[in-house]
């Protein structure tokens, strides 16, 4: 049977009682989302967490003294190149990996303390895409199953499940076995399953992996709605900049196990030193490009038919100098546009690394 393990069953060398992450006992100290007041401590407080794998020379410091607070009802994006420590940090926050130092509090409860089961009553995760679906069960049965293992009578949340199916455009597939769905559909079922039990804090690792453009848009819309209308707190790790830019209130960038930037999307974009213009003309040949490269920072060149576009870092006086240089070279300017920085460029600036395009992000033709 092709029934992959649930997110709670992620292998790790050092684990706590991993079942606590997604299959908590509903003891008297836990309450349901509806019962818990909206005010209260932050959804997540990570304080000075470090995690090293292995020992001696070959060891890896995956997370290096990271502190982070995530307010209730916010969506925080976790960005970083491969190996930056994102997944390890999430696993530390989930209690699936034990940090070497530091503490994690979930809705005010220290997960290292005796209350860890209570802490996890309202946390769930989608790690590694569609792996937490039960493929022999139908879509609706999956939702009922995941509500049940969180200690919730599935009949009592049937309306919520109907809404989720509707919002994620899964109504037509509600009675279809998950194994018969496309990869993208399975991905959406995974998300619905994570949300089915009413967890108040969810960690989503690459939630749009394998989704087509339309499905990705639907999912992003639903994530925002869940945060804004239902107060869900979401920590999303993705290489897909569109997801991060679209849905996140705030972005935390990691590199080499450390946080290297932590701000709102707009603040990160406006702080980027990225003033540039893109000039398009049929007259930009190799000689013109060489002359431009001598005097300016040429960011990219793209050739389309008989027209060449060149993106040059230029603002203020540099912009006048650029225009003068183009005129002197006999270039007829067909089109000039200012280029707004995007999150991908901020990411490259901050981490000094390229986004891994194999993980679903293309470079928008900038890599010529």
Ligand X SMILES: Nc1ncnc2c1ncn2[C@@H]1O[C@H](COP(=O)(O)OP(=O)(O)OP(=O)(O)O)[C@@H](O)[C@H]1O
Q: Which stretch binds ligand X (CB under 6 A): 76-84, 122-130, 242-250, 280-288?
A: 76-84
Q: Pick from 29, 67, 82, 182: which binds ligand X (CB under 6 A)?
A: 82
Residue 206 C-beta: closest distance to ligand X, Å: 8
The yes or no reply on residue 83 touching ligand X (CB under 6 A) is yes
| Of 13 and 316, CB closest to ligand X | 13
Burial class (CB in 10 A: 0-12, 13-18, 19+), 82: exposed
Cα–Cα nearest to 315, from 272, 350, 253, 364: 272
Name which of residues 37 to 66 contact ligand X (CB under 6 A). 53-54, 60, 62
The yes or no reply on residue 92 touching ligand X (CB under 6 A) is no
**What residues are paired with 250 via a beta bridge?**
76, 264
Residue 285 C-beta: closest distance to ligand X, Å: 40
Angle, CA of 333, 336 and 337, to the nearest 5°: 170
Residue 363 C-beta: closest distance to ligand X, Å: 17
Residue 284 C-beta: closest distance to ligand X, Å: 37
The yes or no reply on residue 207 touching ligand X (CB under 6 A) is no
CA distances from 234 to 34, 72, 100, 199, 319 (A): 18, 9, 25, 10, 42
| Of 12 and 280, CB closest to ligand X | 12
Handedness of CA 317, 319, 325, 328 (dihedral sign): negative
Residue 313 C-beta: closest distance to ligand X, Å: 29
Residue 39 C-beta: closest distance to ligand X, Å: 33
The yes or no reply on residue 77 touching ligand X (CB under 6 A) is no
CA distance 280 to 222: 39
CA distances from 80 to 46, 99, 216 (A): 18, 20, 20
Q: Pick from 18, 22, 50, 88: which binds ligand X (CB under 6 A)?
A: 88
The yes or no reply on residue 80 touching ligand X (CB under 6 A) is yes
Residue 62 C-beta: closest distance to ligand X, Å: 3
The yes or no reply on residue 127 touching ligand X (CB under 6 A) is no
**Cβ contact 172:113 at 8 Å:** no
| Of 82 and 340, CB closest to ligand X | 82
Residue 80 C-beta: closest distance to ligand X, Å: 5
The yes or no reply on residue 86 touching ligand X (CB under 6 A) is yes
Q: Which stretch binds ligand X (CB under 6 A): 75-83, 152-160, 178-186, 287-295?
A: 75-83
CA distance 107 to 256: 28
Q: Pick from 6, 22, 50, 87: which binds ligand X (CB under 6 A)?
A: 87
**Cβ contact 60:54 at 8 Å:** yes
The yes or no reply on residue 13 touching ligand X (CB under 6 A) is yes
CA distance 218 to 238: 16
Residue 52 C-beta: closest distance to ligand X, Å: 9
3-state secondary structure 171-233: HHHCCCEHHHCCHHHHHHHHHHHHHHCCCCEEEEECCCCCCCHHHHHHHHHHHHHHHHHHCCE
**Cβ contact 8:22 at 8 Å:** yes
Residue 300 C-beta: closest distance to ligand X, Å: 25
**Cβ contact 233:124 at 8 Å:** no
Q: Which stretch binds ligand X (CB under 6 A): 37-45, 79-87, 171-179, 211-219?
A: 79-87
| Of 83 and 231, CB closest to ligand X | 83
| Of 205 and 311, CB closest to ligand X | 205
| Of 83 and 151, CB closest to ligand X | 83
CA distance 302 to 279: 10
The yes or no reply on residue 85 touching ligand X (CB under 6 A) is yes
Which residues sit at the interface with ligand X, rule CB under 6 A? Answer: 12-13, 53-54, 60, 62, 80, 82-88
């Amino acid at each position: 049977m092709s029934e992959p393990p649930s997110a709670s069953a992620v292998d790790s060398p050092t684990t706590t009682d991993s079942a606590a992450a997604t299959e908590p006992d509903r003891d008297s100290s836990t309450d349901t989302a509806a019962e818990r007041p909206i005010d209260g401590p932050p959804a997540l407080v990570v304080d000075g967490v470090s995690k090293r794998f292995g020992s001696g020379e070959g060891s890896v410091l995956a997370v290096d003294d990271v502190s982070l607070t995530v307010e209730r009802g916010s969506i925080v994006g976790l960005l970083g190149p491969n190996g930056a420590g994102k997944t390890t940090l999430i696993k530390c926050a989930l209690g699936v990996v034990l940090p070497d130092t530091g503490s994690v509090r979930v809705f005010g409860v220290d997960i290292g303390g005796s209350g860890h089961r209570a802490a996890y009553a309202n946390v769930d995760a989608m790690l590694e895409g569609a792996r937490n679906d039960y493929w022999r069960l139908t879509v609706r049965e999956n939702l009922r199953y995941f509500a049940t293992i969180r200690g919730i009578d599935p009949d009592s949340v049937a309306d919520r499940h109907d809404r989720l199916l509707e919002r994620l455009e899964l109504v037509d597939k509600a009675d279809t076995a998950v194994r018969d769905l496309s990869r993208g559909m399975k991905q959406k079922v995974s998300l619905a399953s994570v949300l089915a039990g009413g967890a108040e804090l969810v960690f989503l690792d690459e939630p749009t992996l394998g989704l087509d453009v339309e499905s990705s848009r639907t999912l992003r819309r639903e994530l925002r709605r869940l945060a804004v209308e239902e107060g869900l707190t979401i920590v999303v790790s993705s290489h897909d900049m569109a997801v991060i830019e679209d849905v996140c209130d705030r972005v935390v960038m990691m590199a080499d196990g450390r946080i290297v930037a932590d701000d709102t999307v707009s603040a990160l974009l406006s702080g980027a030193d990225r003033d540039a213009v893109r000039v398009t003309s049929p007259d930009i040949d190799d000689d013109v490009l060489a002359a431009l490269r001598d005097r300016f920072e040429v960011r990219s060149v793209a050739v389309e038919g008989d027209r060449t576009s060149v993106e040059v870092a230029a603002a203020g006086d540099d912009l006048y100098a650029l225009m003068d240089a183009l005129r002197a070279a006999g270039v007829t300017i067909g089109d000039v546009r200012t280029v707004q920085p995007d999150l991908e460029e901020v990411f490259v600036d901050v981490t000094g690394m390229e986004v891994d395009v194999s993980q679903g992000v293309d470079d928008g033709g900038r890599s010529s």
